[in-house]
Each structure stands twice: as C-alpha cells, then as structure tokens.
Amino acid sequence: MFDLIIRSAVVVDPVKRTERVADVAIENGCIARIEPSIAGEARETVSAEGLVLQPGIIDTHLHLTASPAGHAMAVRAGVTTAVDMAGPPEKVMAEAKTHGRGLNVAVLNAILPGRNVSGNRPDASEIDAFLMASLEAGAFGVKLLGGHFPLTPEASAAMVRQSAERGVYMAWHAGTTEKGSNLEGLREAVALADGHPLHMAHLNAYCRGRVLPVLDECLEAAALLEAHPEIVTESYLSARNGCPLGLKEDGTPESAVLAGNLRAFGFTADLAGLRRAVLSHRLGVLMPGGDDVAIVSGEAGLEHFERARAEKRPVDGSFDGVNPFASRAFFAERRRADGSFLVDAIGTDGGGIPRNVILESGLPLVKLGAFDAVDFAVKTSYLPSRMLGLAQKGTLEPGADADLTIYDPVAGRAVHSLVKGSFLLRDGRTTGRGARIVCTESGAAAVRRAGLEPVLAPGGVPTLDRRQAAGIV
C-alpha cells in the first residue's frame, strides 16, 4: 500500500523533458511510481486534476530572517527548499523551530565587517576561521554581501579563492570598497574571482541602467557569464528590491545599496533623504504581521520606521521600480550559444521580503512563450538542486525525494507542496512545521543540537551540466 497517490496531475518532468497527465505514488517519503493510472491502494488519495505537478521549487536566494513570517511566505509561494543568503545559521535554525513550515533550508552565512570579522580587510587566517566556523555552526556555505557590507578587493578575492580551495559553497552580492552593486561591481567580481567557482547572486540587480543603458548592461553581463561557465547564478522577477534601513551614528546608511538607491532616485543618502523617500512612496518599509509582511510607505511607513529606530530595532525596506522589466525578462529567458540557459535559476531575494513571485511572475513567461513548462521546472528545481548538490531532489525519478510543487497554471499560485512526501502546503494553507537544514558533514552535529534534522550535501560550487539540463545532446 502506498502512503499517498496524487491523481490526474499534469506531470512535468525536467529530466525526461516530458509533460503528461499521470498519477504519482509516494511511499516512505520517496517517489514510488508515475503512471497514467495507478491501481494500487493508498492511505490517502488527492486529486490534482487541472493542476501541474513538478519537482519542488528551490528558491536559490531568499532571506528568511527578514521576518518571522518568512517561512510561511515562502511555502505559500510553492517553495520546498530555500537558500537563506545571510544567516547566521544559529538565528535561522532558532526561527525554524518556532516559525518553520517544513522547508528544507540551506544557510549561506554572510561575512560582516566589524561583526563576525574584525573589519573590511580580514587576512587569510581570519577568513579561513570564518569559513570553518560557519560550516561547523550548520551553514551550507558563506556569502559575501559586497553590495551592502563590502570588503576590500583584496580581501574579497581572498575569500573567493579560499572558499574554492576549502570546498566551501560561496555566493557573492557583487561590490567591494572600490566598486558598487552595479555593472562595474560585476566586472570587478568576475575579475577578482579569477576563474574560481562562485555563485553570483541576483544577476539582474547589476543591470539597472546605472552605468550603461539597461540592454547594454545585460549584454555585457551575458558575455561575462558566457566566458566564465564556472560561475553559477540566479536572477529574480520582482520590480522591488530589499535592503536594511540601518543608519550610522552620523545618519548615513550602513548599507551601500541603500545609499546608492537613495541617490539613484534623487534623494540624499542620509536620514533626511530616507524620510523623503518613504513619504514619496518610492521606499516602502516592511511591517511584519502574523504570517505575512506588508510594505507600507507615506506617513504610515515613516511612523513605523521612526518607531523601530527609536526602539533600536532593525527594520528593512524595499524600493519600488528599482529593477527594470527589460533586465528581469532578459535573464529569465536568455540562452548561451549552445542553447542552454545563461542564468541557472529563478530566485526571489524574498522570503521575509514580499516578493516571493517565482510562480506569480514566472508562469506568465511560460504563457508568453519565453520558455515552456519543462524549462520552468529546469530553472526552478532541477538546476537549483544540482547547484546545491542535492541529487535526490529536483527530479521525479523513482526513489527520489518526494519534494513536489503542485500549482494552478491559470491562477499562477501554489495549491499543494510536499517535502519527503509530507504536506507543507495543502489547498493553499500551510500545514508543515519546523525545517530540515541542508548542511555539510561539518555542521550536522550543530543542526542536531538545535533539534533539527540535517540534510547532508557535499558543499562547494559544482560544475553544472547545463547542456544536459536543456536536453541538448
């Protein structure tokens, strides 16, 4: 007897590159059978007629700790595996126990000058200590938050090199103390990486027309990736960004991204400019509430910001219209010369930031013919699973983990999702609890001490077979 049979779904298989109506049987947390009709008995049967079933969506870039609602927001968006791109792992795991909704979570611990390293030019020994401590604390890898909290170019290059030598997965939000979070920062990051494998975060964020016209920036970024296949990346589809609204004692932004966006929209990069940006509705302030986060601006947004500031609580914001549609669409569908996708995954940079729109904004691109449902599954599940070294996920092969996303292609929303055969989302409502933490062997003990289950992965940025993923032989 099977544990569960999902009947009459439109099953999209990114490995076999097929799309067909079929039943899916699940047993012991794994895919057991996929057939046009399964006659065996099951403890539970669910109809998915008219719905699309694919391997679980893996969001390769989000921020769960931006709000306690982050887990619920990601699950409602159809995500089954989330890569938290800041950490720290201790905080992510603590919140997973209290606010988790059953996700697989991989944490990339951000290096923060003056907080977990001495300053913006840590030496090789300090970087090495940070890498090892991050893995031992349960992180899957590390993150260089160059756009917000940059290191010097020399220290940034050392971090990429040492991560590669140590086999540590590393992502980089481009930027150093010399270059910003724009095309110039991307150029610099690729040069400093010097051929070492790397996850370049949210490629579209460097093509906002700040250096060249938007399309010219996109074409140059594409050429850089073509020349450096060792770099994996994701892009997102939201017009909004996210950034911390913390200020230094002199009233200037702690985050270089906040400062840059204020200037780009014609505001001064200080407290007065931030206030004007909120009042003008260009900058929204994130206001958590229950299992969701609202974006408020104008007088209400400023009031929320000032209250948090007075109480010395961290508060985040989001600029509207910061990401041009042209770059978002360009990187979603752009292919390499060999026909494989240029950008490996569709992320969100969401989680606790209200832009969890992989389905909401990705499916319209399917309808427009930018790619088909199979390619959508490749970019949202199969390739992300290979980026993370999760061989049991991203596929519907018998014996694979029953991590599934089932969505309404007309409404563009998730209806059900499962991890290891257990529902996280059922009829649009979250049902899961806690989290499984994706980590290396070094962090398994820390995860267990936190009362959570580790999901072991090898670590390091892999070499992707993009041609195979695209069905190119």
Let me know if residue 296 belongs to a domain. no
Which structural domain, as residue segments, surrounds residue 42?
A: 4-54+392-436
Two structure tokens written together for 465: 């077979």
- My answer on whether 71 and 34 are in the same domain is no
Nearest one of 83, 50, 80 to 64, comparing CA atoms: 83
Q: For the full predicted model, state whether its pTM sits above 0.85.
A: yes
At 203, is the secondary structure helix, strand, or coil? helix
Amino acid in position 219: L
Let me know if residue 76 belongs to a domain. yes
b/e per residue 47-66 (b: at least 16 CB within 10 A): ebeebbbbbbbbbbbbbbbb
Let me know if residue 253 belongs to a domain. yes
Tally the domains of the chain.
Answer: 2
CATH of the domain at 417: 2.30.40.10
Residue in this structure with the two tokens 């403890």, named with its chain if needed: 43
Let me know if residue 293 belongs to a domain. no
- My answer on whether 59 and 28 are in the same domain is no
Let me know if residue 470 belongs to a domain. no
CATH of the domain at 70: 3.20.20.140
Two structure tokens written together for 120: 């913006």
- My answer on whether 128 and 224 are in the same domain is yes
Let me know if residue 378 belongs to a domain. yes
Q: How many Cβ atoms sit within 10 Å of the Cβ of residue 33?
A: 15
Position 473 scores a pLDDT of 60
Q: Which residues of the chain have pLDDT under 70?
A: 473
Let me know if residue 97 belongs to a domain. yes
- My answer on whether 8 and 36 are in the same domain is yes
Let me know if residue 306 belongs to a domain. no
- My answer on whether 133 and 106 are in the same domain is yes
- My answer on whether 382 and 403 are in the same domain is no
- My answer on whether 136 and 97 are in the same domain is yes
Nearest one of 263, 256, 288 to 277, comparing CA atoms: 263
What pLDDT, in 10s, does the model give residues 395-434? 999 999 999 999 999 999 999 999 999 999 999 999 999 9
- My answer on whether 22 and 146 are in the same domain is no
- My answer on whether 83 and 178 are in the same domain is yes
- My answer on whether 81 and 137 are in the same domain is yes
Cα(15)–Cα(396) distance, integer angstroms: 8
Nearest one of 255, 236, 257, 320 to 285, comparing CA atoms: 320
- My answer on whether 430 and 336 are in the same domain is no
Reported as half-sphere exposure (CB side, CA atoms, 13 A), residue 306 has a value of: 12
- My answer on whether 196 and 158 are in the same domain is yes
